[in-house]
Structure 1
Amino acid sequence: MNIKLFLLSIILSFALLLTSCVSVQVKDNTVSTISSEVKKPKNIILLIGDGMGLSQVSTAIYYKDGKPNFERFSTIGLIKTSSASDLVTDSAAGATVFSAGVKTYNGAIGVDKDTIPVPTIIEQLSKRGLATGIISTSSIQHATPASFYAHVKSRRMYEEITEFAPNSGVNFFAGGGLKFFNKRKDGKDLLAEMRAKGYEVIIDQLPKTPSEKHELILLAEDAMPKMSEGRGDFLPNATKLALEKLSKNEKGFFLMVEGSQIDWGGHNNDADYLIKELLDFDKTLGVALDFAKQNGETLVIVTADHETGGYSLSSDGSDYNKIKPSFSTTGHSGTMVPVFSEGPGASSFNGIFESIEIYHKMMALFNK
């Protein structure tokens, strides 16, 4: 071989090796590395089971009639969930980690530990022309959904949180929280403002087909009903509707779906409540996974902000053939929580890492 050609081949091989991965420096001095060989997704669906630890996930194995959708995931990791202020995080700090990529204090919504607003993934992607959506079985002003579009110092500032909605850039909202738009202490009519910003406001029932406009779907004054109170298939059907709408965007989309009341069942130490909400969430995973399988360009990520209740699937005394759910607290716990992923880029979520990495890994995949 010609010596010049030989040397050129070595140089090219070395250059290829150097460019084989992209590292993203994040704010806690850890590094997210996304291999350039990993196919990057056009779309990401992030499903958050609020308060969902591994025992909650295991519930689907014992109480679902049929194979759980959790078992369809090929990549599983674990995240550490402590906030900047406490060893045990709350949902506000826990969600702000996912939405804005900063560790912050318990109670913070879209702000850092100094109460300075931090741009959310939805705000950043909306500016780039991607479609975005938020779905929740709580009010859309509750800690987890609020953290994706609002910036306030306290999660209890529901009316202030709502004021961020008209200019949020979110194309699709679905959940509860109507009273914070039209029965406010300040007398403002934010439904009128939403309509002026191009939203179709729907307050009676979930539509069968998506609107050409942005959509604000508010089906409860505050939180949505429990599954035991007849909520039905709101969560899976709203997810299906959102996917039909958002997938029309040629640039891609980001959708956050929260199973809020898994957490509330844990706080209440009510196993029946928790189990019904978890199974509803598992059904919703099926909708997301079916879409992603058919679409081929969508990454599905499932995780939790923290575990609630110290939930355990214990044996019923010495009867090892009978499960008896139990709880160790009415609050949250500091246990690590699982991360399930499927689709292009899923391998990036393997292993054990800080919860802050969820945001940075998603952004690294979107930053092609």
Structure 2
Amino acid sequence: MHTKAKFLICLIFCILFFNGCKPKAKENAQKKSHVKNVILLIGDGMGVSQISTAFYFNDGISNFKRFNNIGFIRTSSASHLITDSAAGATAFSTGKKTYNGAIGMNIDSLPQKNIVEVLSKKNLNTGLIATSSITHATPASFFAHVKSRELPEDIATWLPISDIDYFAAGGLKYFNKRKDSIDYLKRMRDNGFIISLDSKDLKENLQDKKKYGFLLAEDGMPKMSEGRGDFLISATDQALSLLSNKNKGFFLMIEGSQIDWGGHNNDADYIINEVKDFDNTIGKVLDFAEKDGNTLVVIVADHETGGFTLASSQKKDENNKLINDYNNIKPSFSTKGHSATLIPVFAFGPKSDNFRGVYENSEIYEKILNSLNN
């Protein structure tokens, strides 16, 4: 009888203990499911084969291995089966399919609110980083509304009046060496931006209540093989420090622009070096997201470029017959343009399972907003 009583007391204690833990566990689960920040990384021109180079040509383990939630998007634009970067990025930034070449415009050339404009109104901080010019198709689609990507000086006029809190890229000449002779660096400073033309300033700690812009090349940034160095990681690190310190939540778009340029050039080494840089930047972002706990990370591409593939090379066997050498990868290309291949989406953090499946590129916009609203 004494033993039974002790058993019942222990049983009651365990029930009360575990019931008492339930609210706390639920609270922790709710905390983990809340999205405060979103980091969207776009590898321009980055298809499955480009991503695969990070597994075959990297010295270490690719950061792409750290993702469990993976989907695919169809990238066709409203005007073409094969999209360009402008229509692809506009689909991400506005949720609308549009014609090739459009920057923040719908199929009827009418301006559409982009995600930066929407989230800024909700008091989130915003940032853009690219290894291209800031006026190039992808970053431009997150702050400008212009009928054609071929009008970089028109695109530049939108940046001083934008809600961007931080940007880093090339494109200086579209602000200070313009055909209209207007000094848009001054206009940006007049609108509250602290502008730097020196990459050393990427190492500086920034003041929380200020807006910053870094224009570090006349047009696009140098290739990795030409000495770009740690620009992408340094700018990402600085942006994360600034935007997260403001304590309001943030949206940050980071583009590995030149993966696309390597594809257009049919230059495998160019692609491999740019993917390595992008992969290392992904690692920096994932480390931040893991520590933060309330950051959603989404990695995607606007399209694939080059019809790039990792095929085997050929060699002669003992009978002098040409055979495939399955121990030697020979990158190859089928085009100098874009392709229509489906593009993978990698997601990490709270609500990342919403990015599984196969869907249209324009749905990325709604999935991000829904993740922030729920």
TM-score by length of 1: 0.89
State the partner residue of 1:242: 239
Q: 4+ runs of 1 displaced by more than 6 Å? A: none
1:82 pairs with 71, 76, 79, which one? 76
Q: 2-side partners of 1:78 and 1:197: how far apart?
A: 40
Structure 1 gap ranges (5+): 1-35
Q: Distance in 1 between matches of 2:166 and 2:87?
A: 23
How far has the Cα of 1:39 moved from its partner? 1.7
Residue type at the aligned position of 1:312? T
Quote the residue 1:10 is aligned against.
Answer: none
Q: Provide the residue aligned with 1:252 in structure 2.
A: 249
Deviations 1:142-198 (A, max 9, x none): 000000000000001101100000111000010000011100000100111111111
- Give secondary structure in 1 for the equivalent of 2:279: helix
SS of alignment partner, residue 133 of structure 1? strand
Q: Are the aligned partners of 1:81 and 1:334 in contact in 2 as well (CA < 8 Å)?
A: yes
Distance (Å, rounded) in 1 between the aligned partners of 2:133 and 2:363: 26
In structure 2, what is the Cα distance between the partners aligned to 1:357 and 1:64?
32
Deviation at 1:357, TM superposition (A): 0.7
How many equivalent residue pairs?
A: 333
1:348 is aligned to 2:354: yes
Larger mean Cα displacement after TM superposition, 168-177 or 198-207: 198-207
Q: Which residue of 2 aligns with 1:285?
A: 282
- Residue 365 of structure 1 deviates from its aligned partner by 1.4
Contact (CA 8 Å) 2:31, 2:294: kept in 1 or not? Answer: no
Q: Is the 8 A contact 1:200 1:211 kept in 2?
A: no
Query: Are 2:45 and 2:263, in contact at CA under 8 Å, matched by a contact in 1?
Result: yes
Partner of 2:370: 364
Superposition deviation, residue 87 in structure 1: 0.2
Aligned-residue offset at 1:40:
3.3
Separation of aligned partners in 1, 2:32 and 2:304: 31
TM-align CA RMSD: 1.2
Aligned ranges 1:181-330 → 2 under 5 Å:
181-205=175-199, 206-212=201-207, 213-317=210-314, 318-330=324-336
Query: Deviation per CA, 1:42-72, whole angstroms, max 9, x where unpaired?
Result: 0000000000000000000000001000111
Partners of 2:87 and 2:302 lie apart in 1 by 8
SS in structure 1 opposite 2:88? helix
TM-score of the aligned structures, taking structure 2 as reference length:
0.88
1:38 Cα deviation after fit: 8.7
Amino acid at match of 1:309: G
The whole-number CA distance in structure 2 between the counterparts of 1:305 and 1:287 is: 22
Residue 74 of structure 1, CA deviation:
1.2
Contact 1:41 1:299 in 2 (8 A): yes
Q: Which has the larger radius of gyration?
A: 2
DSSP-derived class of the 1:207 partner: helix
Contact 1:45 1:299 in 2 (8 A): yes
**Equivalent-residue separation in structure 2 for 1:164 and 1:138 (angstroms):** 17
Distance 2:101 2:235 in 1: 27
Preserved contact between residue 32 and residue 294 of structure 2 (Cα < 8 Å):
no
Aligned partners of 2:44 and 2:258 also within 8 Å? yes
Q: Distance in 2 between matches of 1:167 and 1:344?
A: 32
CA deviations on 1:275-321 (whole Å, 9 max, x unpaired) are 00011000000010000001111011000000000000000021100
CA positional deviation for 1:37: 11
3-state SS in 1 of match to 2:79: coil
**Partner residue of 1:4?**
none
Structure 2 contact 75–303 (Cα < 8 Å) conserved: yes
C-alpha offsets along residues 81-112 of structure 1, whole Å, 9 cap, x if unaligned? 00000000000000000001100000000000
Distance 2:104 2:326 in 1: 45
